[in-house]
A and B are shown apart, each in its own frame.
Chain A
Amino acid sequence: MKTRFLPILPLVTLAVMLGPVLAGLWGTVLPAFGHLPAAGEVGPSLAPVQALFDWPGLPRAVALSVMTGIGATVIALVIVAPLTAGWSGTRSFRALERALSPLLSVPHAAAAFGLAFLIAPSGWVARLVSPGLTGWDRPPDLLIVQDQWGLAMMAGLVVKEVPFLLLMTLSALGQTDAIRAQAVSAALGYGRVTGWLKTVFPRVYAQIRLPVYVVLAYAMSVVDVAVILGPNTPPPLSVQIVKWMSEPDLAMRLQAAAAALLQLALVLAALVVWRLGEGIVARLGKRWIASGGRGRVDRPVAMAALALGTTSALAVLLGLAVLAVWSFAGFWGFPDALPDTATLKNWMRHGPSALSAFTETALIALTVTLIALVLTLGCLEAEYRHNLRVSQRGMWLLYLPLLIPQTAFLPGLQSLLLSVGADVGIWPVMAAHLVFVLPYVFLSLADPFRAWDARVGTVATALGASPDGVLWRVRLPMLLRPILTATAVGIAVSVGQYLPTLLIGGGRVSTLTTEAVALASGGDRRAIGVYGLLQTGAALLPFAIALAVPALMWRNRKGLRHA
Chain B
Amino acid sequence: MKHLAYLAAFLPTMALAQTDPADWDAVTAAAQGQTVYWNAWGGSTTTNDFIAWVGDRVAEDYGVTLEHVKLTDTADAVTRVLAEKQAGENDDGAIDMIWINGANFAAMKEQDLLFGPFAEQLPNWAFVDVDGKTVQTDFTVPVEGYEAPWAMAQVVFIHDTADLAEPLGDMVQILNWAQANPGRFTYPQPPDFLGTTFLKQALVDLLDDPAALAEPATDANYDLVTAPLWAFLDELTPALWREGRAYPATGPAQLQLIADGEVDLAISFSPGEATAAIANNQLPDTVRTFVLDGGTIGNASFVAVPYNSGSTEGAMVVANFLMSPEAQARAQDPNILGYGTVLNMDALSAEDRAAFDALELGIATLSPAELGAVQAEPHPSWMTRIADDWIERYGVAQ
Interface residues of chain A, those whose CB is within 8 Å of chain B, are: 38-40, 55-57, 60, 120-122, 137-139, 141-143, 145-148, 231-234, 246-250, 329-335, 343, 345, 349-350, 352-353, 418-419, 421, 424, 506-508, 510, 515, 518-527
Q: Are A518 and B395 touching (Cβ within 8 A)?
A: no
* Top-6 shortest CB links A-B: A523-B253, A57-B396, A141-B183, A522-B43, A122-B260, A334-B261
Determine which residue in A141, A506, A520, A524 has the highest number of CB atoms from chain B within 10 A of its CB, and name it: A524
Q: Are B397 and A507 touching (Cβ within 8 A)?
A: no
Q: Give the nearest-CB partner of B252 in chain A.
A: A522
Q: Are A506 and B80 touching (Cβ within 8 A)?
A: yes
Residues of A close to B257: CB separation below 8 A: 523
From known contacts A232-B189, A508-B37, infer whether A139 and B261 are also in contact, taking CB-CB under 8 Å: yes
Q: Are B80 and A507 touching (Cβ within 8 A)?
A: yes
Q: Are B250 and A523 touching (Cβ within 8 A)?
A: yes
Segment touching A, from B87-95, B216-224, B322-330, B361-369: B87-95
Q: Give the nearest-CB partner of B247 in chain A.
A: A232
Q: Are A333 and B45 touching (Cβ within 8 A)?
A: no
Interface: B76 (CB within 8 A):
yes
From known contacts A232-B189, A350-B45, A352-B52, infer whether A141 and B246 are also in contact, taking CB-CB under 8 Å: no
Q: Give the nearest-CB partner of B261 in chain A.
A: A334
CB distance from B183 to the nearest CB of A (A): 3
20 contacts between A and B (CB under 8 A): A56-B392, A60-B396, A139-B262, A141-B242, A141-B262, A147-B246, A148-B245, A148-B246, A232-B246, A248-B107, A333-B259, A334-B262, A349-B45, A353-B52, A418-B83, A507-B69, A507-B80, A521-B43, A521-B250, A524-B44
Q: Are A233 and B247 touching (Cβ within 8 A)?
A: yes
CB distance from A246 to the nearest CB of B (A): 4
Interface size in chain B (residues, C-beta < 8 A):
65
Complexed CA–CA distance, A510 and B68 (Å):
10
Complexed CA–CA distance, A330 and B37 (Å):
32
From known contacts A332-B259, A521-B249, A522-B44, infer whether A248 and B82 are also in contact, taking CB-CB under 8 Å: yes
Q: Are B94 and A424 touching (Cβ within 8 A)?
A: yes
Residues of B close to A331: CB separation below 8 A: 259, 281-282, 284-285
Residues of B close to A232: CB separation below 8 A: 189, 246-247, 249
Q: Are A518 and B42 touching (Cβ within 8 A)?
A: yes
CB distance from B83 to the nearest CB of A (A): 6
Residues of B close to A234: CB separation below 8 A: 395-397
Residues of A close to B247: CB separation below 8 A: 232-233
Complexed CA–CA distance, A113 and B148 (Å):
37
Contact with A along B53-84 (1 / 0, CB 8 A): 00000000000000101111101111110111
CB distance from B179 to the nearest CB of A (A): 14
Q: Are A522 and B245 touching (Cβ within 8 A)?
A: no
CB distance from A539 to the nearest CB of B (A): 22
Residues of A close to B75: CB separation below 8 A: 246-248
Q: Are A57 and B87 touching (Cβ within 8 A)?
A: no
Interface: B241 (CB within 8 A):
yes
Complexed CA–CA distance, A55 and B392 (Å):
9
Instruction: For A520, give its contact among B44, B242, B249 (CB under 8 Å).
Output: B249
Q: Are B255 and A523 touching (Cβ within 8 A)?
A: yes
CB distance from B234 to the nearest CB of A (A): 16
